[in-house]
Structure 1
Amino acid sequence: MHIYPIKFSPIPKETIWGGNKLNSILSKDFSDGIKIGESWEISGVKNDISLVANGNLKGESLNNLILNFGPRLLGEKVFKQFGREFPLLIKFIDANDTLSIQVHPDDELAKKRHNSYGKTEMWYVLEAEKEASLIVGFNQKVDQKLYQQKLNEGQLEEILNSEPVESGSCFFIPAGRVHAIGKGILLAEIQQTSDITYRMYDWNRVDKLGQARELHTDLALDAIDYTFDNQYATEYPSDNNKSTNLATSNYFTTNRLVFDQKIKRDYSLLDSFVIYICLEGEFEICYENNESIKVTKGESILIPAELKELVLETSDKTICLEVYI
């Protein structure tokens, strides 16, 4: 059966801190008047499996694609490692208010407690309001005792590292690193397939029913990596018409593509699917038999592993993320 670059219907997530930028900036078609914090672009998370939005396979689930195409879709290596589970979750996040301070367990702890993968992730900021910032890691050497003391005293912020952000800011967040997205930030998130979050502090916030959200302070204790780092932000050169690496890990590799002319992508040495996340502009993907598909700002698209040679064409400056295993 013919296989082609696949778009999926985004899955909206209503949140206490969400806004309307996913509609107004990324042209999503979510219900008006509802605080949508996340758009799950490509998901293999149980009960939130993405459905194909384009072509002959429209309406098929991501799980069915893996069942029917296996290595042709994922790549031999990825299929052998993950079987029928899609290994990544791709999101856009609109933080109209500050998110809770949280941490994610690593693979070992998540397997033991939840029979799940852990959650290593990364953020790429699309837009940030003036003076917007986020929390990532600690601002000093911290151990569990000091952390618990500050948490109990309501002074956790004192030991957390705050980073000012702007469009193009990038952060790699390994499992165990404490973090929180700040108010006024729109970003793309690439992560392992996992929906396990330990909420450590939620700014004493309550929902519309006056209820505080559950905290997981005890679970977080063993999940936190207390290591202090001098540099949390990812610095990278701003090169045009070539690929710039932003993150490389056991879980995913992410590159930034900025181009204003035709570029070729050769994946003949790569044994993985590829995902493009369009952040600015629009482009055409030309693949086998002179077929093509257009991708616009706010869209994500899955390139099956068997499509090895692509040409990306644009008439204006385009920015996208290129993700693979």
Structure 2
Amino acid sequence: MYQHEPLFLTPEFKDRLWGGTKLRDVFGYTIPTETTGECWGISAHQNGASEVRNGPLAGRKLNEVWESHRELFGDEDGEHFPLLVKILDADQDLSVQVHPDDSYAREVEGEAYGKTECWYIIDCDPGSELIFGHHAQSKESFKELITAGDWDNLLRRIPIEPGEFYFVPSGTIHAIGAGTMILETQQSSDTTYRVYDYDRTDANGNTRELHIERSIDVASIPHEDPPFSPLVAEEDGLKQVQLVSSEYFTVYKWELDGTYSLPEEHPYLLVSVLSGEGVILSGDSSQAVQQGDHLIIPATMKYCQLEGDLEMIVSKSNKA
């Protein structure tokens, strides 16, 4: 199939103990509950695959498109679509957690991928913070502080501001704090190990499962902040900031003010619109694009021109 237009996707939504209503209030999504914590905007994962809503593939799930039309993705290898893009509304604190790498996820969980991720802070309340890393210098100290419940001395808290970016490799102890909305780009995995959940209970009075031993197995000790060296490029009407280029993905922030044409040869791109409106012109069509849209520009789309006033997070897979 030679796809001449972007694939616009219908998100999947997830109710979460810590969720709220900002996905509706800010982005205009129709959310299923008043505690909707996650919008899976671009997903081919079995726990919540997005659906194509336009063109000849309308009604097909992204995982089906990946399996049957690999040419749209530059004939990239791999049984599973590699990335997952979410918007998270943390009305309350998320649990303190850690994710495994690829080998541990395959061997222990039977999951195709581990979970390296990254966060762009869309907005946050004054005084909001993240837990990013820990203070233990050895596995023994790490285990002792967990056993003692000495979270104040174990966990590293940092204040945050809108527009900041964090790269979160697998093995990083982390948690998103209350009052924070982020766009998360990650490997396509749904494996999370909870270290601490503030002793919260659900509607039935039950605490959520913790995964202490597996967390100890996979945590990076001692913690080291990954380097952050954004690269800025400006061309025509586009300001492009490369936020990270890792083993698994490259993530950009695009600020469009005017018109920008993609090179004819380009990889498939995952695009999430944070604000603004505009159009995407292809060889034989014009598609309106606005805040809250999630779409894929396929590798087969040789002519692609963007026009308008748009703020976007754009990513590409580095598997090929």
Task: State the TM-score bracket (shorter-chain normalisation).
Answer: over 0.9
1:7 paired residue number? 8
Residues of 2 paired with 1:220 and 1:273: CA distance? Answer: 34
How many Å separate the matches in 2 of 1:253 and 1:236? Answer: 11
Aligned-partner residue type, residue 175 of structure 2: A
Q: Give the deviation of 1:56 after TM superposition.
A: 3.0
Match of 1:105, SS state, is: coil
Give the fraction of aligned pairs with identical amino acids, expressed as a percent: 33
Q: Which runs of 5+ in 2 are unaligned?
A: none
Q: Please provide the CA RMSD for this pair.
A: 1.8
Mean alpha-carbon deviation: is it higher for 145-154 or for 41-50?
41-50
Give the whole-Å Cα distance in 2 for the aligned partners of 1:267 and 1:204: 53
- 8 Å CA contact 1:147–1:156 kept in 2: the answer is no
- How far apart in 2 are the matches of 1:244 and 1:308? 23
Q: Distance in 2 between matches of 1:67 and 1:199?
A: 32
Deviations 1:137-194 (A, max 9, x none): 12x4521111111111111232322121121110010100110000000010111011
Superimposed CA distance per residue, residues 109-164 of structure 1 (whole angstroms, 9 cap, x where no aligned partner): 111101221000000011101111111112x4521111111111111232322121
**What residue in structure 1 maps to residue 208 of structure 2?**
213
Q: Is the 8 A contact 1:41 1:91 kept in 2?
A: yes
Compared with structure 1, are the counterparts of its residues 67 and 250 closer, same or farther at alpha carbon in structure 2 (3 Å cutoff)? Answer: same
Say which is worse superposed, 211-220 or 255-264, in terms of deviation: 255-264
Summarize the Cα distance change of 1:75–1:238 in structure 2 as closer, same or farther, 3 Å threshold.
closer
Structure 2 match to 1:310 = 304
Query: Is 1:126 paired with 2:127?
Result: no
The residue number in structure 2 matching 1:322 is 314
Per the alignment, residue 252 of structure 2 pairs with: 255
CA contact (8 A) 1:22 1:36 kept: yes
Q: Which amino acid aligns with 2:314?
A: E
In 2, Cα distance between equivalents of 1:221 and 1:174: 16
Give the number of aligned pairs. Answer: 312
Aligned to 1:22: 23
* Aligned-partner Cα distance in 2 for 1:248–1:154: 36
- Aligned partner of 2:261 in structure 1 is 264
Summarize deviations over 1:210-259 as a string: whole Å, max 9, x none: 10000000111111011333x45846477762211101112111011112
Where do 1:238-249 residues align within 5 Å? 241-249=238-246
- Rounded Cα–Cα distance in structure 1 between residues aligned with 2:248 and 2:289: 25
How many angstroms apart in 2 are the aligned matches of 1:249 and 1:267?
Answer: 24
Query: How many angstroms apart in 2 are the aligned matches of 1:282 and 1:164?
Result: 31
Q: Which moved more, 1:39-48 or 1:253-262?
A: 39-48
Aligned counterpart in structure 2 of residue 190 of structure 1, from 185, 193, 208: 185
1:137 matched residue in structure 2: 133
Flag the 1:234–1:23 CA change in 2: closer, same or farther, 3 A.
Answer: farther
Are the counterparts in 2 of residues 169 and 234 from structure 1 also a CA contact under 8 Å? no
Q: How far apart are 1:69 and its partner, in Å?
A: 1.4
Partner Cα distance (1:208, 1:233) in 2: 41
In structure 1, C-alpha distance between the alignment counterparts of 2:151 and 2:50, rounded to whole Å: 37
SS at match of 1:44: coil
Report the Cα offset of residue 283 of structure 1: 2.3
Give the match's secondary structure for 2:106.
helix
SS at match of 1:23: helix
Given that 2:42 and 2:270 are in contact with CA atoms closer than 8 Å, whether structure 1 keeps it comes out as no
Distance 2:248 2:303 in 1: 23
Contact 1:170 1:235 in 2 (8 A): no
Counterpart CA distance in 2 for 1:261 and 1:281 is: 12
CA offset digits 1:26-50 (Å, max 9, x no partner): 111113x530000111111114222
Distance 1:322 1:178 in 2: 25
- Looking at structure 2, the residues matched to 57 and 143 of structure 1 have their Cα atoms a distance apart, in angstroms, of 52
TM-score normalised by the chain length of structure 2: 0.92
Amino acid at match of 2:124: A
Contact 2:251/2:313 (8 A) holds in 1: yes
Matched AA of 1:320: M
**Retained in 1: the 8 A contact 2:232–2:240?**
no
1:67 maps to what in 2?
A: 67
Q: Which residue does 1:104 correspond to in 2?
A: 99
Amino acid at match of 2:88: I
Q: Which runs of 5+ in 1 are unaligned?
A: none
